[in-house]
Structure 1
Amino acid sequence: MTEYPHAVAKLRAIRQASSTRPFLARGHQVKRCERCRLDENYCICNWQPKVNTSVGVCLLMYDSEPFKPSNTGWLIADIVKDTHAFSWTRVGDMQAVKDLLKDDSWQPYIVFPGEYAQSERVNHQLIKTTKKPLFILLDGTWPEARKMFRKSPYLDSLPVLSLTPEQYSRYQLRRSTNNMHLCTAEVAALCLELADENLAASALNTWLDLFTQHYLAARECRKVNVDDVLHQQALTYQMDL
């Protein structure tokens, strides 16, 4: 049986096996590391953080997101062991998601701007409970995320966790018309901070920055200084386990 490093890698493999034609992302000719998805000459696997977390993440991934090298849901799964990943479909079978949401060990939250939900559902802090928080993140472009939010009735009864970022997104691998639209990994880091998982939040932010640095360096064919502060910072998160 094939072993996968995490749920997003497994979902990608399942999607690949069932796809009738390959997904050709920009730069698909590049020979990539299977583990970190970067150009093999810019691999970051040696710096991957290893930290403990006591929260869960449920990624609902739109269409081709699992295939995209720039997807940051993968980075979340690298850090948060209890990450679950599902392909979102409006009319298909989402029973596995529904079963996860019914698991009594979790307190699920759909993470989305409160302005799109009824006020009685909106929370800005976590609910006091003995259950572990499960953050449901809609992984796609902003229009895709809004579609998932509107057309997923099994999410309608869940509390909405509305975040207020204090700074603009620093994500550089895709363009957005709104600087306040954070990438999925940035949203996850804010959720981890709310859950007092500050070490994991810091590790995820560092991992995102490192991934971005190597991704852009590969795109621009320039060298990376692996002795810089960012790389040294990443190594400090390998000491927690």
Structure 2
Amino acid sequence: MSLMKPSPLPHPPHAVSRLRSSRLERSTRPFLARGGPKGERCGGCRLILSHCLCELRPIVPTRAGVCLLMAEHETLKPSNTGWLIADVVPDTMAFGWARTEVDPVLLAVLADPQWQPYVVFPGEFVAPERVITGLPPVDAEQNGNKRPLFILLDATWPEARKIFKKSPYLAQFPVLSLLPEQLSRYRLRRSRRDDHLCTSEVAALCLGLAGEAATAQALEMYLDVFTDHYLRAKQQLNVDWEDELHVQMRDLVEGL
């Protein structure tokens, strides 16, 4: 088993990274993540330095975009997978959610004529007339050839329901209700139901519906690699850089 760790490449901060920095600036107490000497983690992937995976980040140009509405503490969680979406999908926007105020930049994004926003949420909790289960063709007249923008509520399930109900500016948009056939592979937090997918898994399904199969595949594999590194760091195990998962991930990144 090879223990050699690749040197990370520098990447500019993306939307989730900037939102996290803003959240930390507002904190009254320092945030100390567990796991390294004095909580030291990579600023690019949030993992302890010995398990950094920045070298394996697959940035894939897409026509679709992702808009993350993030609950108060999500950006501070090292296990948050909205960060992975922003790593992979260049047109990822991220906004902190608050019941009493709305970021004007968010409203501007939702009103931008280049985008057709879709709120991704289970259809069983939504009025049937708002629910769709698929996307129109790219050149369909009804969407004016707009780019799909997937609005993902990055939060625990109770928080996501609150965000959906308490955000009237989302009421004008169709609700994309996913019908995933696979069970969640996410192992970093517990869920009462195996069909509750993590945020990056939801994004991968949306990208697949939008015809972005390569991006969806890259995001799925990237989640697997992130999970492997995260759990190995937690269990104080070395990363096997030459196992099948890492070889496939390197091949994917080199082919982009």
Instruction: Please give the range of the TM-score, normalised by the shorter of the 2 chains.
Output: over 0.9
- 1:180-195 equivalences under 5 Å are 180-195=195-210
Task: State the partner residue of 1:21.
Answer: 29
- Alignment of 1:84 with 2:93, yes or no, is yes
Task: State the partner residue of 1:155.
Answer: 170
Task: State the partner residue of 1:133.
Answer: 148
Between 18-27 and 177-186, the greater mean CA deviation after superposition: 18-27
Give the Cα–Cα distance (whole angstroms) in 2 for the partners of residues 26 and 64 of structure 1: 16
Are the counterparts in 2 of residues 72 and 183 from structure 1 also a CA contact under 8 Å?
A: yes
Q: Tell me the CA shift for residue 24 of structure 1.
A: 4.3
Query: Per the alignment, do residues 165 and 222 of structure 1 end up closer, same or farther by CA in structure 2, a change over 3 Å counting?
Result: same
Give the Cα–Cα distance (whole angstroms) in 2 for the partners of residues 200 and 102 of structure 1: 25
Query: Deviations 1:45-87 (Å, cap 9, x if unpaired)?
Result: 1111132211100000000111110000000000100000000
Task: State the partner residue of 1:42.
Answer: 51
Give the Cα–Cα distance (whole angstroms) in 1 for the partners of residues 235 and 151 of structure 2: 34
- 1:221-232 equivalences under 5 Å are 221-232=236-247
Length-normalised TM-score, structure 2: 0.89
Q: Choose from 24, 30, 43 the match for 2:39.
A: 30
Gaps (5+ residues) in structure 2? 1-10
Gaps (5+ residues) in structure 1? none
Between 225-234 and 199-208, the greater mean CA deviation after superposition: 225-234
Give the Cα–Cα distance (whole angstroms) in 2 for the partners of residues 11 and 4 of structure 1: 13
Cα RMSD (Å): 1.5
Are the counterparts in 2 of residues 4 and 10 from structure 1 also a CA contact under 8 Å?
A: no
One-letter amino acid of the counterpart of residue 177, structure 1: R
One-letter amino acid of the counterpart of residue 18, structure 1: R
Query: Deviations 1:174-212 (Å, cap 9, x if unpaired)?
Result: 011111110000000000100110000000001000000
Are the counterparts in 2 of residues 8 and 73 from structure 1 also a CA contact under 8 Å?
A: yes
Q: Secondary structure at the match of 1:46?
A: helix
Are the counterparts in 2 of residues 48 and 235 from structure 1 also a CA contact under 8 Å?
A: no
Equivalences, count: 239
Q: Secondary structure at the match of 1:136?
A: strand
Task: Point out 4+ residue stretches in structure 1 off by more than 4 angstroms.
Answer: 24-29
Are the counterparts in 1 of residues 35 and 233 from structure 2 also a CA contact under 8 Å?
A: no
Length-normalised TM-score, structure 1: 0.95
